[in-house]
Structure 1
Amino acid sequence: MTRVAAVDCGTNSIRLLVSEATPQGPRELDRRLLITRLGQGVDATGEFHPDALARTLAACDEYAAVLKELGVERVRFAATSAARDAGNRQAFYDGVEARLGVRPEIIPGEEEAALSFGGALAAARSAGPVDLPALVMDVGGGSTELVLGRSDGDVSGVSLDMGSVRIRERFLHSDPPTPAEVEAATAFIDGLLDGCGVDLAAARTWFGVGGTATSLAAINLRLDAYDRARVHGATITHAELVALSHRLLTEPVARVLEIPTMVPGRADVICAGTLIVQRVGERVGADLTVSEADILDGLVAGLLS
């Protein structure tokens, strides 16, 4: 059977999904994540930091071993927000190609949003009908994608230059952030959301994909260890989202690290990611449904089609 792999390299993490074709559809063989913070300082300097580049290429070495072990035939490597912004992209391109045999594709924000929407909606529909219009939100490290799909097939989406790493580095300098820092970050986020052109209030279903959303679900469920089966499909109410935002914006990173399911490389930026989710939630009337299916699933589906 055909085996393919997709790599999603974002501002904060690099993720791998290996699947094979079956008569019933793609079957997942391996899914993993490493926090490499490729976007470290890119918002301020416009360049990849040498340490960040080294961490990311070391992750590619690990993934190359997985691809060889599983006999993967085709690979697609999607690079998103940080790689769109960095001036020294060539070292990144060359390093990835040397390790994985494919050149990174800088996915435009609109395509990134569409892939996330397709992956989340297909997974949701496999469990039952979805009430439309549906909004899919992916809060990454450098950008946030928002896609609204309507019953008539019309899909509108946008990629906004705000993410957990970008907002943390630009506004939330203290540990924990001060009220003034939170106020400034909120004003910035609200300005982008209000001008994004997507009718967030129209959404009757709201899906969150990616590390910020899944981390919030695990915290809200009070899991002792991360459990994909429980996170996928979990809901977070508006009141719970407000409480999570308050908690993570007022606790120091050392306290956040004590959360059993918290990935160390996400502990310092989850406060910013949560603020973005909470501000989106103020404009959406539906509870947040968290999905483990995202851009990786969309990429794999394309490779197997």
Structure 2
Amino acid sequence: MPPFSQRSAIVDLGSNSVRLVVFEGVVRNPLPIFNEKVTLKLGRGLDASGHLNEEGVALAMDVLGRFHTVARAMGAEPFEVVATAAVRDASNGPDFVSAIRARMPGVTIRVLEGTEEADYSARGVLCSLPEANGLVADIGGGSLELIHVADSQYHEAVTTKLGVIRLQDRAQGSVERAREIADEMLSEVNWLPGMTGRPLYLVGGAFRALARLQIARTRYPLSLVHLFTLSEGECREMVDWVVDAPRRTLEKLPNSPRKRLGDAPFAATVLRSLMERVRPSKVVFSIDGLREGWYMKHVASSVAGGDPMTALANDMAGRLARNPDLSHALVGWTAPLFPDETPVQKRLRTLACTLSDIGSYDHPEYRGEQTYQRVMHCHGVGFEHSARAFIGLTLAVRYEVPTDSALIEPSRYLLSRTEVDRATRLGQALRLAYALCAGTTVLLEECRILVEDEKLVLILGARSVRAAGSNVRRRLERLAAFMGLTAEMREE
């Protein structure tokens, strides 16, 4: 493989399923280019028999043989298999690992201890949310890892036997009994009370299934589980609904995760018990967990200190914009229009300026639509939904999408009226800036904009005067009218 196509691969061999993920490159935002999962249920019956499920073992051999062939054909290096709770706890786990080594020669195979599994899960969440400060709960088929994250690292960590397969087996399919078991086990985690009032970050397929059900049920405008966020009250209501709803009700929802519906009430039961102990400030779902944590530790540790949203914005601008270096000048040029912004608002404005020209090579009839969809649906681990909505709306306005268009309804749903107004103001300012400078730094630096005595004033230097025409005046007047000001152009 050529150097720019460096690839790495991990097989996550869990108690419920096995998944191969192949990542492309060494970048701050893990980029999966192959992702395939097969349900094995290796942990089914483990507590009663002490052994891995025989049917799952037989299927695993075939699946792992395929995964080995695919990863090698794609040139993945490093390439590792990591096994978790079921293989770790089963008496025939060592024999199973020996059989895997025979099927996958030359591949590193590791059975993770509970603390290692917690470490990877914590790194995965911190990959998306470097400033996370709260409790990570990573649920699998055989175990539930609980990890305290803060200051870009994890502190306390514990593994419990509250995976959804194991819990169903121990409770003999009774949700009521499962709640008793969850309450008992969680009461033994003595540091949990210290997590009260902090965010709760949920990782794992069974928790993701809850998010998918809630997204479908509430007609949430983005079908993205990653960083889907609920208030404590919303999450409690969701949990009660999942536990009580008949299966046929869940099955009728669009994009219902059918293979996970049997697990959903038990995942909800664990979540309810957990919430009663920590009363989180909010609940955030993350698709980044063990596999992304492995990637950040073994492949991308050199870039782990970067901000994921900034890294993605710079990457997109580098590939799609005419002049990626213009963004810094745009940030300074638009600043006088936002004198009262908070640090978070300034960060979003900076990201929007960085991404403001990524539609430059799209067809003129579809630039607005393409750019909006690109921002709203791009694979970026750090983009919270509200950030996507703000930046997407800003760029839609920059490309003159009508503000009442159905296209931007997700932004209107996700943002407050104040943030919609800020995004619209910034989008119109960027539209004016590009009319003035045509994407060049030298022309933008020749002019400036300011608010003065109920006027929006555009001050033009010698070359920018020659570049300013009726199009510039129209855009200035539109921005001024939106801000409730009158427009004025001056020569410097």
* TM-score higher than 0.5: yes
Other-structure match for 1:210 = 204
TM-score (norm 1): 0.85
Q: CA deviation at 1:204?
A: 1.8
CA deviation vs aligned residue, 1:192-242 (integer Å, no higher than 9, x gap): 111113335345222111102211111111079xx9971111013333333
Of 109, 116, 121, which residue of structure 2 is paired with 1:116? 121
Kindly indicate whether the alpha-carbon contact (under 8 Å) linking 2:81 and 2:110 is maintained by their aligned counterparts in 1: yes
Q: CA deviation at 1:59?
A: 2.2
CA deviation vs aligned residue, 1:167-187 (integer Å, no higher than 9, x gap): 1111142xxxxxxx4332212
Runs of 4+ residues over 6 Å off in structure 1: none
What letter matches 2:160 in structure 1? L
Kindly indicate whether the alpha-carbon contact (under 8 Å) linking 2:207 and 2:285 is maintained by their aligned counterparts in 1: yes
Separation in 1, partners of 2:76, 2:48: 38
Q: CA deviation at 1:9?
A: 1.1
What letter matches 1:123 in structure 2? S
Kindly indicate whether the alpha-carbon contact (under 8 Å) linking 1:228 and 1:292 is maintained by their aligned counterparts in 2: no
Structure whose CA Rg is larger: 2
Matched position secondary structure for 1:282:
helix
Structure 1 residue runs of 5 or longer lacking an equivalent are 174-180
Other-structure match for 2:86 = 82
Other-structure match for 1:143 = 143
TM-score (norm 2): 0.55
Other-structure match for 1:189 = 182
Matched position secondary structure for 1:29:
strand
Kindly indicate whether the alpha-carbon contact (under 8 Å) linking 1:167 and 1:272 is maintained by their aligned counterparts in 2: yes
* Pair 1:288-2:292 in alignment: no
Separation in 1, partners of 2:252, 2:169: 22
Counting matched residue pairs gives 292
- 1:43-62 equivalences in 2 (<5 Å): 43-62=47-66
Other-structure match for 1:199 = 192
Separation in 1, partners of 2:56, 2:154: 39
CA deviation vs aligned residue, 1:49-70 (integer Å, no higher than 9, x gap): 2211112222213322320331
Of 65, 90, 95, which residue of structure 1 is paired with 2:99? 95
Q: Relative to 1, partners in 2 of residues 1:62 and 1:231: Cα closer, same or farther, differing over 3 Å?
A: same
Kindly indicate whether the alpha-carbon contact (under 8 Å) linking 1:139 and 1:277 is maintained by their aligned counterparts in 2: no
Matched position secondary structure for 1:73:
strand
Kindly indicate whether the alpha-carbon contact (under 8 Å) linking 2:215 and 2:223 is maintained by their aligned counterparts in 1: no
Kindly indicate whether the alpha-carbon contact (under 8 Å) linking 2:124 and 2:291 is maintained by their aligned counterparts in 1: yes
Other-structure match for 1:20 = 24
CA deviation vs aligned residue, 1:13-37 (integer Å, no higher than 9, x gap): 1122211333656433222322111
Q: Relative to 1, partners in 2 of residues 1:44 and 1:163: Cα closer, same or farther, differing over 3 Å?
A: same
* Pair 1:277-2:271 in alignment: yes
Other-structure match for 2:296 = 301
Q: Relative to 1, partners in 2 of residues 1:43 and 1:254: Cα closer, same or farther, differing over 3 Å?
A: farther
Q: Relative to 1, partners in 2 of residues 1:32 and 1:46: Cα closer, same or farther, differing over 3 Å?
A: same
Separation in 1, partners of 2:7, 2:148: 31
Kindly indicate whether the alpha-carbon contact (under 8 Å) linking 2:7 and 2:25 is maintained by their aligned counterparts in 1: yes
Other-structure match for 1:176 = none
Q: Relative to 1, partners in 2 of residues 1:261 and 1:9: Cα closer, same or farther, differing over 3 Å?
A: farther
* Pair 1:238-2:232 in alignment: yes
Separation in 1, partners of 2:147, 2:154: 10
Q: CA deviation at 1:252?
A: 4.9
Matched position secondary structure for 1:149:
strand
Of 247-256 and 100-109, the range deviating more from structure 2: 247-256
The one of the two structures with greater contact order (alpha-carbon pairs below 8 A, sep at least 6) is 1
Other-structure match for 1:177 = none
Q: CA deviation at 1:139?
A: 1.1
Matched position secondary structure for 2:208:
helix
Q: CA deviation at 1:270?
A: 1.9
Structure 2 residue runs of 5 or longer lacking an equivalent are 302-492
Q: CA deviation at 1:257?
A: 4.1
Kindly indicate whether the alpha-carbon contact (under 8 Å) linking 1:215 and 1:261 is maintained by their aligned counterparts in 2: no
- 1:217-228 equivalences in 2 (<5 Å): 217-222=211-216
Separation in 2, partners of 1:228, 1:76: 33
Q: CA deviation at 1:83?
A: 0.6
CA deviation vs aligned residue, 1:231-273 (integer Å, no higher than 9, x gap): 1110133333333333333345555444443444322222111
Separation in 1, partners of 2:113, 2:275: 25
Matched position secondary structure for 1:48:
coil
- 1:249-260 equivalences in 2 (<5 Å): 249-253=243-247, 255-260=249-254
Kindly indicate whether the alpha-carbon contact (under 8 Å) linking 1:217 and 1:235 is maintained by their aligned counterparts in 2: no
Matched position secondary structure for 2:216:
coil
